[in-house]
Amino acid sequence: MDQKTQSKKMNQIIAKCWSDERFKQKLLTDPAATLKAEGVTVPEGVSVTALENTDKVLYLVVPAKPMDLSDNELDNVAGGTSCDATDCGPGFCYCKS
């Protein structure tokens, strides 16, 4: 599944959590199995933790450092250069090249 398709699928899962409390509890209790049942591939050996933000608690997810950024892209990130986001999902955005 490509990144754009995976992003769309994750957004659908989040929307389902908002409309179906039982589904949300299932995702929070057993995220890997729930994602798999929804057609999201979880690579072998990868652990999945699902957390829910509340009005009192906000979780900030720091993504793993990308290994395939060019020196120029790393300079832009370190220097605070922004871009026009082309595809955003929960906790991430992709920028135009």
pTM for this entry: 0.66
- Predicted local confidence at residue 89, as pLDDT: 60
Structure-token pair, residue 14 = 């989040």
Tens of pLDDT, residue by residue over 5-64, are: 888 999 999 999 999 999 999 999 999 999 999 999 889 999 999 999 999 999 999 988
- Predicted local confidence at residue 44, as pLDDT: 92
In degrees rounded to 5, what are phi and psi of residue 95?
-110, 155
* Cα 88 from Cα 10, distance rounded (Å): 11
Q: Which H helix or E strand runs over 25?
A: helix 21-29
